[in-house]
Chain A
Amino acid sequence: MEINVIQAALLGLFACLASMPGMGGSAIGNYTLGRPLVGGLVCGIILGDIQTGVLVGAAMQLLYIALVTPGGAVSADVRAVSYIGIPLAMLALKSYGLDAAGQEGIGLATSFGAMVGTLGTVLFYGTATMNLIWQHIGWKAVKEGNFKKLYLVNMGLPWISHIACSFLPTFLICMAGAGMVDTIKEILPMDGIAMKTIFTVGSLLPCVGIAILLKQIISKGLDFIPFFMGFALAAALGINLVVATIIAMMFAFMNYQIKTSQSVKVSTVSSLEDEEEEDI
C-alpha cells in the first residue's frame, strides 16, 4: 500500500480543517472531522479501504474519547492522531499483514495514536503562536476603525498558520510513510521485547482515556457505583451500548425526579419556617 501525492495532499487539507484551532470551526472541524472515528472513515475513503480505516479510527478513538482541553491546554492533538496516525497505522497493519479487527491490530493502532498524538502537541503550539502575528494585524485594524479586516484576520489569515503547521507536516510524513513503516519493521521484529511492549502499551493506553473522562465526573469513591453498573451491564451481561444507554437514562431520569422534588420540598419548608418566624 502506497500513499500518492494527491492522497497526501487531501489528508493535509483535512488536517487543516480538523485541528483544535481549526479552519472547519469547532463543531464541524474539531468535534466532527477531528474525532479519530470520523478521521478513520475519511482516511479510509481517501486511501481506498473504508473498513480498515474505520477499524483503526475506532481503536484510536477510545484512547481519545475524552479529549477535554481545559483553558486551551492540550494533552494530544487530534489533527496528528486522525490524519497522520491513522494513515501510518493503516500502512503498518498492511505491511505486517495484521487483521485490523483483531486484538493485535487494535493494539498497534492505539500505540501509533498515542505516539503521534503526543508529537502533534508541537503542531498545536506552533499554530497558536503563529496566529499571534495575524492578531497583531487585527488590533491595528480595530484601532484604525477598519472593522471589515477583522473577518480576514479571524477567518482568512490563519490558513497560513495551518499550511505551515498542519498541511506540510501531514503531507510530508504521509509521503514518507511507507518507507518509514518498512524501516520500523526491519528494526523491530514482532516477537522482540520492543514490539511486545508496544502492543501491551496499546492495550493499556485506553485506560488513560477513560480515566481522563472519569476525572471530570467522578470525584469520590462512591461516584464509581454508576460507572461499575454500566461496566457490569456490558462485561457480565453482554448488553450493547445503546441498550446500556437506555437503562442509564432510566436511572438518570429517576435521579432528576428525586432531586427536583427535594428542592421543591426544601423551598416550601423554608418558606413555612419564614411564616412561623413572622408569627412569633
Chain B
Amino acid sequence: MKKLSKKALNKSFRNWYYGHLTCFSQEHMQTFGYLCAMLPIVEELYDTKEDQQKALDTYTAFFNTEPQLGSVIVGVTVGLEEAKANGENVDGETINGLRAGLMGPVAGIGDSLIVGVLIPLLLGIALGLSTGGSPIGVIFYIIAWNIIVTLGMRLLYFKGYELGGKAVEFLTGEKSKALRESVMMLGSMVIGAVAATWVNVTTVFQMINEETGEAYLNLNDQINSVLPKGLTAIFVVFCWYLISKKKMSPLKVMLLLVIIAFVGVLIGFFDPQLQY
C-alpha cells in the first residue's frame, strides 16, 4: 500500500501554486504547470522510469482552468493517481476524463467568484482606504489577498486529495450553489458602492435665459436631484447593455466612448474645464 509523503504533497502543491501559468502559451495553457505539479507525485509513486513516463503521459493532455480554484482538481487527481498506483480500479483515461470534465465548470465558478467578486471586493475596500494617496489600502490588499488565496488554495488542494471524487460532488452541489448566489449578491452591492464612490461622469450642459444671463436649466443638478450621480449610473448601465446584451467587445465599447466624448466636447455637453 503506497501512501504519499507529506513532503511530496507539499512540493507538488508549491509547484502548482507558483508555476501554473509561468510557461503559458495559447496552445498548451496550463499543461506544463500541471506536469510540474504531478512530477513529485509520480516520482514517489512509481519506481521505474518506464512507469513514471507512462503515468506522466496522462497529464500531457491540454489543461486550462481558473488556477486558484483549480487547485482542487490537482488535489483530486493526486488522490486518484495514488489509488491507481495501489492497483485500484482507476486508469489514466478515468483521470483525464475527470480532469477535462472539471476544468470548464471550475473555470466558470472561479472566474465569477474569485476574479469577479473576491478581488474587486478587496480592491474596492483598498481603494477606499487609499483615498488621498495613502499606502495603507495597498498594504491591506497585499496582505488580505495573499493570506486568503494561499490558505484557500492549500485547503482546496489537500481537501481534493483527501476526498478524491467526493470533492466534485461538493463543488457542484446545492449548498455551494446557494453560497455562490449569495456571494454574487454581495459582489453586486459592493460593486454598486464602488461605482458610486469612484466613478464620476458629469455634464456642463446648461440652458441660459438670454435676458438675465442666468441658467434656468442645469442638467447635472437636475439629474442629481432625481438620483445622486445619476449620469454615472446611466453610463454604467449603457456599457453593461452593450457588452452583455449587444455582445460588443470591451475594446469596441471603449472606442464608442471615445466618439461619444469627442462629440460631447464639440457640442458642449462635456467640458473638463481645464486650464494651465
**Which chain A residues lie closer than 8 Å to B27 at the CB level?**
132, 135
Q: What number of A residues sit within 8 Å (CB to CB) of B?
A: 120
Contacting B at CB under 8 A, from A48-90, are: 50-55, 57-58, 61-62, 65-72, 75
Given A25-B18, A44-B135, 8 new contacts (CB under 8 A): A21-B22, A201-B258, A215-B243, A217-B187, A233-B192, A241-B197, A244-B193, A256-B182
Whether A191 contacts B274 by the Cβ 8 Å rule is yes
Contacting A at CB under 8 A, from B200-218, are: 200-202
Contacting B at CB under 8 A, from A161-218, are: 190-191, 193, 195-197, 199-201, 203-208, 210-218
Chain B interface category by residue count: 35 or more
- Hey, which bits of chain A sit against chain B, CB under 8 A? 20-23, 25-28, 30-32, 35, 37-38, 40-41, 44, 50-55, 57-58, 61-62, 65-72, 75, 96-97, 100-101, 103-104, 107, 114, 118, 125, 127-129, 131-132, 134-135, 138-139, 142, 145, 147, 150-151, 153-155, 157-158, 190-191, 193, 195-197, 199-201, 203-208, 210-219, 223-224, 226-236, 239-242, 244-245, 247-249, 251-253, 255-256, 259-260, 263
Whether A207 contacts B235 by the Cβ 8 Å rule is yes
Whether B244 contacts A128 by the Cβ 8 Å rule is no
Most-contacted residue by chain A among B57, B194, B270 (CB, 10 A): B194
Contact with A along B216-243 (1 / 0, CB 8 A): 0000000000011100110111111011
Q: Is the interface of A mostly helix, strand, loop or mixed?
A: helix
Whether B32 contacts A153 by the Cβ 8 Å rule is yes
Whether A21 contacts B133 by the Cβ 8 Å rule is no
What are 7 A-B pairs at a CB distance below 8 A?
Answer: A25-B17, A75-B250, A155-B18, A190-B274, A195-B274, A206-B198, A217-B187
Select from chain B the residue with minimum beta-carbon distance to A44.
Answer: B135
Whether A191 contacts B275 by the Cβ 8 Å rule is yes
**Which chain B residues lie closer than 8 Å to A151 at the CB level?**
36, 39
Q: Is B19 an interface residue (CB 8 A)?
A: yes
Select from chain A the residue with minimum beta-carbon distance to B234.
Answer: A207
Given contacts A72-B24, A129-B25, A215-B244, contact A31 B149 (CB under 8 A): yes
Q: Is B61 an interface residue (CB 8 A)?
A: no
Q: How far is the CA of A67 from the CA of B272 in the complex (A)?
A: 27
